[in-house]
Amino acid sequence: MRILSGVQPSGKLHLGNYCGAMKQHIEDQETHECFIFIANYHALTTIQDAEHLRHLTRDVALDYLALGLDPKKACLFRQSDVPEVTELAWILSTVTGKGLMDRAVSYKDKVARGLPASMGLFSYPILQAADILIYRSDAVPVGQDQSQHIEMTADMAGYFNNTYECEVFVIPKVKLNEAAVVPGLDGAKMSKSYGNTIDLFDAPKPVRKRIMSVKTDSTPVEDPKDPDSCNVFALLRLLAEPSERDAWAERYRQGGMGYGEVKKRLAELFEERFGPARERREALEKDLDYVEDVLATSGRRAREVACGVMVDVREACGIVKAAG
Ligand code: ADP
Ligand code: TRP
């Protein structure tokens, strides 16, 4: 089975990105063929400063490698190293009805939050579909907020196959993690655009400060509390072993426990999990040639697969070839 996913280089990666998407990508490398890419064409919809985009792109590569993505097992590349995806996005746009695009909620959300309503932002899901279909991906591990885009991708694959009476594209499936939506400090979905994140590679002190500011209710220390409606517990359960998670749930229900205590433990668990990755990242930052080499080598591999599929795409829709 071929797995593919992408992350936009549009800001610092946070716990929601990790638990909702990246953790799966890193686990999947052990059992599946994995293609993970840095969606820098997509990021142009929000980052319009060349130097900044170059830096953010490299940062996502550093983050993945530090978190344990092994370039010998998974293919980690830049979207733009396979420029054929933009060609496929155009071809897909010719078989996709505008009605489908009008139903995309992520576009409406982004415009409502003040992003410029560019054509790139509007047709973002078509480029995303091209990313997925050009590698004949079987499954796409993402957080819940992306599942509509994967359903739209399956629709677009079907439109093309039906229009040209062919089987060029594999119909992909979404693959959700158990942490489909990770809450942020305020209880809303953790997202860079809401300013409610806990960033993966921040130093321990600011991380602790952020964790201490997670919103809780005002139940007095001595009273019993409900773990299932608590933001701190929702985060702790992502990082603690099941036995520890159950013990904390029990302590919530018993009462006599303050939120400060559980926040402190959450900060420790965060450091245990991400401290070593932070150190690996610092070492990798001193070896940027290695990082560039990984991206370039993987990019060539990905491009070879994509170019093979594009031969079938062009043939199916009559962009020259055939004859004779
Ligand atoms: P952000 O909302 O911070 O801009 P992105 O849209 O760049 O994050 O998301 C990158 C990946 O991380 C996607 O697969 C997305 O589904 C996942 N993701 C982002 N935030 C969360 C969250 N709070 N919970 C679960 N998954 C998330
Ligand atoms: N839209 C995704 C996000 O915001 C990033 C992305 C681009 C992607 N192309 C993709 C994810 C293809 C999965 C598959 O997170």
8 lines ligand 2 (CB under 6 A): yes
142 lines ligand 2 (CB under 6 A): yes
Angle, alpha carbons 9-119-126 (nearest 5°): 70
Task: Give the pLDDT confidence score for residue 322 in this predicted structure.
Answer: 67
Nearest ligand (C-alpha, residue 12): 1
Q: What is the mean pLDDT of residues 228-241?
A: 96
| Mean pLDDT lowest among 10-14, 38-42, 189-193 | 189-193
User: Token pair of 37, please?
Assistant: 């890419």
Task: Give the pLDDT confidence score for residue 272 in this predicted structure.
Answer: 97
Share of the chain above pLDDT 90, in %: 94
Q: Which of 17, 121, 190 to mutate to test the pocket of ligand 1 (most atoms within 8 A of CB)?
A: 17
Domains along the chain?
2-182+288-317 (3.40.50.620), 201-282 (1.10.240.10)
29 lines ligand 2 (CB under 6 A): no
Element (H, E) at 141: strand 139-141
Residue 4 is classified by DSSP as E
The residue with tokens 């926040």 is 263
Q: What is the mean pLDDT of residues 166-193?
A: 92
Average pLDDT, the chain: 96
pLDDT at 194 over 90: no
Nearest ligand (C-alpha, residue 146): 1
Q: DSSP per residue over 9-71, as a string?
A: -SS--BHHHIIIIIHHHHHHTTTSEEEEEE-HHHHTTT---HHHHHHHHHHHHHHHHHHT--T
Pick from 161, 124, 147, 140: nearest CA to 309: 161
Give the model confidence (pLDDT) of 84-94 as tens digits. Answer: 999 999 999 99
Rounded Cα distance between 34 and 140, Å, is: 10
Give the model's confidence band at 324: pLDDT under 50 very low, under 70 low, under 90 confident, else very high. Answer: low
| Mean pLDDT lowest among 81-85, 143-147, 288-292 | 143-147
pTM of the model: 0.94
